[in-house]
Amino acid sequence: MQVQTVTGPIGLDQLGRTLMHEHLFIAFSGAEFDPTAVFDRPAFVAEAVKRLKQLREEHGVKSFLDPCPIELGRDAALMKEIAEKSEMQVICTTGFYFEEMGLPIYWRARTEQEIADLYISEITHGIGKTGVKAGAIKVATGKPITALDKKFLAAACIASKATGTPIITHTQDGHGAPEQQELFAAGGVEAHKCLIGHCCGNADPAYHRKVVDGGSYIGFDRIGLLRFQPDEVRADNLVKLVRSGHRAQIMMSQDRHCGWLGKFARQLSPQEQAHIDAQRAAGNWPPPYTYMFTDFFPMLKERGLTQHDIDSILLDNPRRYFAGEPLPLPNQA
């Protein structure tokens, strides 16, 4: 049993501490036409390598899953170069984003099987001519979940079943996780093969309970993204899940990036822009990948979690997810 990284397959025991949802580089489709959007590739690589080395050396992170959708500037050769230079084990995904913010016209017109064939090819043969193989399948849905979103999700189910590859998702505005679980079940994919992402965007513990009771992994994967949820709420809800015996299903990550082409895919308020400009001037933009370790874990410990709980979430859960093993019984977790 192996995990496919951008520099080749590794054994499950080599995975180590893993961040399950972070990005290196993001470019929304169309940004490449913006004359104000500059991208200095060597400078970006140097910065990314520095940040990944810091994660590895200061916090013992060995693996980093970048679930960049195909059409959001996913660049397998760039990921490979950064992985080689930083010695971080980077895993990339196949799969598109969702209708409201992605889905190229060409692929909208394809059948579920044609889309699945692309995903299967990127998993088994590699992405384009790079030789880099995808290690997971990205699925994204909007609010509400559209018919097109469902078609791409169904294609991911076909590819997952054909290759045994696990699925990682984006949900929008803390909405749609139980619906995704129902669609995966209908598509014949077992719940424990799915990490339902961005569930921390919903403040209601009942929503989280529904996801874990459905048997999937639950993403508390926007830690530090305060625009979507205060971290106090994330910490309270995460601790509730551990206390109710669901530690084995939690994945913690931050959905950060260290490079973004051009402007954001929405208009920023003047206050938001001023904040970013100030952070950039101080050398703190984009914010670092280490935040979870320096700022969020102390919040978990204040609420009674132990280092053992945190280590188990960062180490055991990613390993079990990639292994495709069933969840442990609650009293064995």
Q: Which is nearer to Zn ion, 23 or 56 (CB)?
A: 23
Please state the closest distance from residue 41 (CB atom) to Zn ion, in A: 21
Tell me which residues touch Zn ion (CB under 5 A): 255
Q: Which is nearer to Zn ion, 99 or 255 (CB)?
A: 255
Q: Which is nearer to Zn ion, 21 or 192 (CB)?
A: 21
Output the CA angle 317-329-66, nearest 5 degrees.
Answer: 15
Please state the closest distance from residue 205 (CB atom) to Zn ion, in A: 23
Please state the closest distance from residue 196 (CB atom) to Zn ion, in A: 13
Instruction: Kindly give, in sequence order, each residue whose CB lies less than 8 Å from that of residue 171, ignoring residues fewer than 6 positions away.
Output: 141, 177, 180, 196, 197, 198, 199, 201
Please state the closest distance from residue 194 (CB atom) to Zn ion, in A: 16
H or E element, residue 4: strand 2-5
Q: Which is nearer to Zn ion, 81 or 255 (CB)?
A: 255
Q: Which is nearer to Zn ion, 24 or 116 (CB)?
A: 24
Please state the closest distance from residue 330 (CB atom) to Zn ion, in A: 29
Please state the closest distance from residue 255 (CB atom) to Zn ion, in A: 4
Q: Which is nearer to Zn ion, 168 or 183 (CB)?
A: 168
Instruction: Kindly give, in sequence order, each residue whose CB lies less than 8 Å from that of residue 40, ignoring residues fewer than 6 positions away.
Output: none
CB atoms within 10 A of CB 263: 14
Residue with the CB atom nearest Zn ion in the bound state: 255
Please state the closest distance from residue 222 (CB atom) to Zn ion, in A: 8
* Contact predicate 69/96, CB 8 Å: yes
Q: Which is nearer to Zn ion, 127 or 305 (CB)?
A: 127
Residue found by looking up tokens 């978990």 in the block: 300
Peptide bond into 69 cis (omega under 30): no
Distance, in Å, from the CA atom of 200 to the CA atom of 206, rounded to the nearest integer, reads: 12
Q: Which is nearer to Zn ion, 65 or 242 (CB)?
A: 65
Distance, in Å, from the CA atom of 217 to the CA atom of 318, rounded to the nearest integer, reads: 10
* Contact predicate 171/180, CB 8 Å: yes
Distance, in Å, from the CA atom of 93 to the CA atom of 262, rounded to the nearest integer, reads: 23
Please state the closest distance from residue 125 (CB atom) to Zn ion, in A: 25
* Residue 202, CA distances (Å) to 197, 246, 302, 310 in order: 11, 17, 22, 21
Q: Which is nearer to Zn ion, 231 or 255 (CB)?
A: 255
CA nearest neighbour of 18 among 327, 320, 330: 320
Phi-psi region of 63 (alpha: psi -120 to 50; beta: other; left: phi over 0): beta
Please state the closest distance from residue 289 (CB atom) to Zn ion, in A: 13
